[in-house]
Chain A
C-alpha cells in the first residue's frame, strides 16, 4: 500500500515534472557570521525589541533526531516578513534567516540542519505588525537505544 512518492515517481522517469512542482524556497541568507553568540544573533535580528513566546510562529521538528547530521526542520509564521532560526547548542548557533517578500504565497520554509548534541532549536519571527514572536523545540541527539 505504498503511496506513489516522489522517490517512486523519479524511478519511473516522471521526476522532471515532480521537481518542477516543488515550491521555490524562499531566500535563505547566510547567517554563519563567525563568532556571534545566540544572544547576539537575536539582538541583531530584533534590534533589541522585546520577543514574546507565542503561537505566531510554528516550528516542526522531531523530538529525537534520527540522524543528528541532517535534522529536518520546518518553520511557519503567517504574515511574517522574516524568520530567524537558531541551534542554541551548536558552536555556531546561526542556522538561517528567511526573508519573505510581499508576493510570498506563504511564510514558511523547510531545511535540514546539523546538531552537535541535544539542544533547543529556536525560531523567532518578525510579524506583519513589527512585533517579534518566538518558539522553541528541544531536539535530542542520541546514540541509539534498544527498542522493544
Chain B
C-alpha cells in the first residue's frame, strides 16, 4: 500500500513541472499559446475520482489583475504557516523563482511590472476551457463551487446575481455553498436557488426561530461507481459580518457538533468519500479538520488563499483555491473500499493570455455584459500607481476610497470595510467597472455621523479581535477595517482591548480623545435604514474631481508592533 505521504510527494512533482517552465523563456512560451495551455493543464490522471474546486470569484466574469497580500499575519499556531506566509517567504517555501509566472500569480513582489508581462488572470470563459479539459479526461469529475460567486460586480448587482447563476449553470456546477449570496436578501436567494440546476448546500444554516436545519446539508453523488457525500458549510458569521436584517430567517455558526453529526450520517450511508465544501475560511477549516472526524477533503473558501499544495491535518486534506477566478484546483483521488488512499493535486493558474476562451461561455458573458457595456467601460480617471486592496491593512485602493469619503462627505475620519474582494488596477485608466469591483454591494450607502474617541477605539478593538483572535473559531476572516484621517498602532498578538494604541487624528496629529466627538463617515454598515449616497458614486465623483490619482509619499499611518 502506498502511503499518503508518497502521494503528496507525487503531487509536488506535478507542480514542479509547472515550475520547470522557468522565467527566462516564459515570454516565448507565452507566445506559443497551445504549448503553454497544455503545460498549464498537464496532469497525469490519478486514482478514480476527480474534484474540481472554484471559490470566491466575486462575480468577476472577465479576467482581472489581482495582487496577493503583502501582510497576512497568523496568530498563535497559525503563525508562519500557510496561508500566513507571503512575498519572498512564500516563494522560498514553495521553491518559486522571483519574477516567474508562479511568483506573479501567487505573491505580491514586482506585481505591477510582472502584470505587464504575464497579463490578466481568470475569466469564466477560460475557466470553462479548463473545466471542459478536465472533464474530457475525467467525465465523472465533480465541479464544486465554494460560494461568494453571486456578489461583487456591476453586472451581478444589476442582475441581482442572476448573471452568475446563468454562468454556473452553463459551467455545469454540481453543488455550491454560500456567503455574500445572502446579501441579496432571503427572497432573492430563494428565487436564484430555483434557477440553479444544482443544489445549494448549507449544513450550518438553521431557521433562526425554530433552531432547526433550513437547507439541504449535503448531496450524495453517485459517480464513476463511487458514492460521494458533499457537505455544504456556509460562512459561519453571516449575521454578524453582514446585515442580518436582510436574511432574518436564518442563523449560521460553525456548529462543529452538527458537522460531526452530518459526517456520521454520511458514513452511516456507506459513502466512499466525504467532502466538505466550506466557506469557513482557512484557519477555521484547519481547526475543524483536527476536531471533526471522518472528513476526507475540505475544499476551503472565504479567506481567498491560493495554496499550491493541500495541507494535511490528520487524515483530512485541505485544498484552498484562491479567489476572483485566478485559480481552479484539480484534485484526483484514489478511493478504495470506502477509504481515500491517496491524492494528486494541482492549483491551476488561469493565465488569460495563455488559455483559450471557451466560445460558448464567452458568448454568454458578452450577452450578459452587452446592456451595460458603455457604463462598464467608461473611463472615470487615471492613476499613476497600482491600486490594490488585499492585505491585513489599508491597500492603495482603500486609501483612495477613504480619501473619497473624507472629501465627499466632509468627515474627519473615514472607515471602509476590510473585505478581501476587489480587483487591482494597474497604472493608467480607471473605469467604472474597476470602481464597482471594489465597492459593489446591496448596502453601499455612505453614512456620516458622530462617534466619540472611546467608541472609535471600541470599534477598532472589536474588528481587530475578529481577525486576530488566537482561536480560529472566533475569527471571521476578512481584514482590519480600513481608515482614513486616522493613525494608529496595532499589536495583533495582544488581548482584546489592548491591541490598538496611539490613535491620532492625521490632520493635526492630535491624540484621539475618548470623550471628544469626531465626524466619521463610512460604508457597508450592517444597520438597517442607513442613509447616504452609494459608495461607488462617492468614489467616482472623487476620482473625476481629482483627475489623476498620485502616489502618496507619506509613510503608512498604521504601525504594526510585536510581529
B482-507 interface with A by 8 A CB criterion: 496
User: How distant is the Cα of A146 from the Cα of B420 in the complex, in angstroms?
Assistant: 10
Give chain A's interface residue range (CB within 8 Å of chain B): 20 to 34
| B253 and A62 contacting across the interface, CB-CB below 8 Å | yes
User: How distant is the Cα of A111 from the Cα of B304 in the complex, in angstroms?
Assistant: 36
| A148 and B302 contacting across the interface, CB-CB below 8 Å | yes
| B240 and A7 contacting across the interface, CB-CB below 8 Å | no
B118 within 8 A of A: no
| A142 and B477 contacting across the interface, CB-CB below 8 Å | no
Majority secondary structure, A binding face: loop
Beta-carbon contacts of A62-90 to B below 8 Å, as 1s and 0s? 11101100001000000000000000000
Interchain nearest-CB distance for A129 vs B (Å): 25
User: How distant is the Cα of A64 from the Cα of B304 in the complex, in angstroms?
Assistant: 22
A5 within 8 A of B: yes
Residues of chain A with a CB closer than 8 A to B496's CB: 118
B174-191 interface with A by 8 A CB criterion: 179-180, 190
User: How distant is the Cα of A94 from the Cα of B236 in the complex, in angstroms?
Assistant: 29
| B462 and A143 contacting across the interface, CB-CB below 8 Å | yes
| B242 and A147 contacting across the interface, CB-CB below 8 Å | yes
Q: Given A1-B200, A3-B216, are A147 and B210 neighbors across the interface (CB < 8 Å)?
A: no
B237 within 8 A of A: yes
Residues of chain A with a CB closer than 8 A to B303's CB: 148
Residues of chain A with a CB closer than 8 A to B357's CB: none
Residues of chain B with a CB closer than 8 A to A106's CB: none
Beta-carbon contacts of B248-272 to A below 8 Å, as 1s and 0s? 0101111001000000000000000
| B479 and A148 contacting across the interface, CB-CB below 8 Å | yes
User: How distant is the Cα of A51 from the Cα of B235 in the complex, in angstroms?
Assistant: 37
Q: Given A5-B212, A145-B237, are A60 and B257 neighbors across the interface (CB < 8 Å)?
A: yes
Residues of chain A with a CB closer than 8 A to B251's CB: 66, 72
Interchain nearest-CB distance for A9 vs B (Å): 10
Q: Which residue of B lies closest to A145 (CB)?
A: B466
| B478 and A148 contacting across the interface, CB-CB below 8 Å | yes
User: How distant is the Cα of A144 from the Cα of B462 in the complex, in angstroms?
Assistant: 8
Majority secondary structure, B binding face: loop
User: How distant is the Cα of A118 from the Cα of B469 in the complex, in angstroms?
Assistant: 13
B194-230 interface with A by 8 A CB criterion: 199-201, 207-216
User: How distant is the Cα of A145 from the Cα of B469 in the complex, in angstroms?
Assistant: 13
Residues of chain A with a CB closer than 8 A to B180's CB: 147
Q: Given A62-B253, A146-B524, are A6 and B241 neighbors across the interface (CB < 8 Å)?
A: no
Residues of chain B with a CB closer than 8 A to A140's CB: 465, 474
A131 within 8 A of B: no
B473 within 8 A of A: yes
Residues of chain B with a CB closer than 8 A to A147's CB: 179-180, 235, 237-238, 240-242, 419, 476-478
Interchain nearest-CB distance for A132 vs B (Å): 23
Beta-carbon contacts of A99-131 to B below 8 Å, as 1s and 0s? 000000000001000000010000000000000
Interchain nearest-CB distance for B420 vs A (Å): 4
| A148 and B304 contacting across the interface, CB-CB below 8 Å | yes
A2 within 8 A of B: yes
| B244 and A5 contacting across the interface, CB-CB below 8 Å | no
Q: Which residue of B lies closest to A140 (CB)?
A: B474
Q: Which residue of A lies closest to B200 (CB)?
A: A1
Residues of chain A with a CB closer than 8 A to B193's CB: 1-2
| A6 and B257 contacting across the interface, CB-CB below 8 Å | no
User: How distant is the Cα of A143 from the Cα of B462 in the complex, in angstroms?
Assistant: 7
Residues of chain B with a CB closer than 8 A to A143's CB: 458-459, 462
| B253 and A63 contacting across the interface, CB-CB below 8 Å | yes
Interchain nearest-CB distance for A36 vs B (Å): 28
A33-65 interface with B by 8 A CB criterion: 60, 62-64
Residues of chain B with a CB closer than 8 A to A5's CB: 207, 210, 212-214
Task: Give the residue among A143, A145, A148 with the most B Cβ atoms within 10 A.
Answer: A148
Residues of chain B with a CB closer than 8 A to A3's CB: 213-216
Q: Given A7-B249, A146-B417, are A2 and B240 neighbors across the interface (CB < 8 Å)?
A: no
Residues of chain A with a CB closer than 8 A to B458's CB: 143
Q: Which residue of A lies closest to B193 (CB)?
A: A1
| A64 and B240 contacting across the interface, CB-CB below 8 Å | yes
* 19 pairs, CB–CB < 8 Å, chain A vs chain B: A1-B200, A2-B193, A2-B216, A3-B215, A6-B212, A7-B207, A63-B254, A63-B473, A64-B474, A118-B496, A140-B465, A145-B463, A145-B466, A147-B180, A147-B478, A148-B281, A148-B304, A148-B419, A148-B420
Known contacts A2-B216, A66-B239, A146-B417, then 20 further A-B pairs from the complex at CB < 8 Å, ordered by chain A residue: A1-B201, A2-B193, A3-B215, A62-B253, A63-B473, A67-B239, A110-B211, A118-B496, A142-B466, A143-B462, A144-B240, A145-B466, A145-B478, A146-B418, A146-B419, A147-B179, A147-B180, A147-B237, A147-B419, A148-B418
Write the residues of chain A forming the contact surface with B, with a CB cutoff of 8 angstroms. Answer: 1-3, 5-7, 60, 62-64, 66-67, 72, 110, 118, 140, 142-148
The 3 nearest A-B residue pairs measured at CB = A147-B241, A146-B417, A148-B478
